[in-house]
Homo-oligomer: A and B are copies of this chain.
Amino acid sequence: MEAKYKLIYNEIKDRIIHKAYVPNGQIPDELSLCKEFNSSRMTVKKALDLLVHEGMLYRKRGQGSFVMELNTTSDRLNIPERELLGLSKSTHGKTKSKVLEFSLIFANEKIAKNLNIKENDPVYNILRLRLIKDVPYVLERTYMSPSLIPGITEQVLTGSVYDYIEDTLGYRIASAQKTTRACTSNKDDQQYLQLQTYEPVLEIEQIAYLDNGRPFEYSFSRHHYDLFEFTLYSVRY
């Protein structure tokens, strides 16, 4: 059973996306929405709060709530950085993964710390190349603990690891911490992402968490600098 505020959230988001509510236009006031969705004001508010935090709406006290006009005119693939399961979802599943390395190694101090396991515990060591329409775009190094995420195979890695974790293992992925930086490219980057030596990569270091608070994945995604950008919307409390 989906929560009512999520239904309202999705419905209003749909209306914004499909221009039933137009950019900079006013949406119905909260009491009207309460009536329409047959819910209390707190519930409507919770739905609207989510949209405000996502940068789809802004509100003016005493005046109303309005649709944000967002401007993304870019020749790069623009990824909303709030999307947790970003990669395959943002591209509508038009991606393929090629497994370059798949082995078990002993966790070093950094991996152990970030996965909340002991140093020298075994971890999967995975290197994958992600492609869209056969164009390589991300070189991704991933570490996971086999004791938490058992049964990873090359076939799982070629498909969606996240689907495997949620659908097969029955866990729920809850959150992620992402650190973004620009780096000069190394030989692997240049080879697999078809970069010149002077061309950089955009690296995202990620720790992903299950809803029980346990970190299950530690990864470094090195993006072709020219094909990608990440957009974030932030509001002040």
Contacts and interface: CB of A to CB of B under 8 A. Distances in A.
A175 B55 contact: yes
B177 A231 contact: yes
Given A174-B58, A213-B60, A213-B68, A181 B225 contact: yes
Interface in A170-193: 173-184
B232 A175 contact: no
A176 B225 contact: no
A73 B109 CA distance: 12
Residue with the highest number of chain B CB atoms closer than 10 Å, among A55, A173, A200, A212: A200
Interface residues of A, number: 62
A187 to B, nearest CB: 14
A106 interface: no
A6 B232 CA distance: 23
A103 to B, nearest CB: 24
A178 B50 contact: no
A211 interface: yes
Interface stretch (A92-100, A134-142, A143-151, A201-209): A201-209
B181 A202 contact: yes
Nearest to A6: B237
A160 B2 CA distance: 46
Residue with the highest number of chain B CB atoms closer than 10 Å, among A66, A175, A234: A234
Interface in A188-237: 197-202, 207, 209, 211-213, 223, 225, 228-237
B233 A73 contact: no
Nearest to A114: B71
B73 A175 contact: no
A198 B197 CA distance: 8
Contacts of A201: 182
A104 interface: no
5 smallest beta-carbon distances between A and B, as pairs: A200-B200, A182-B202, A182-B225, A182-B182, A198-B198
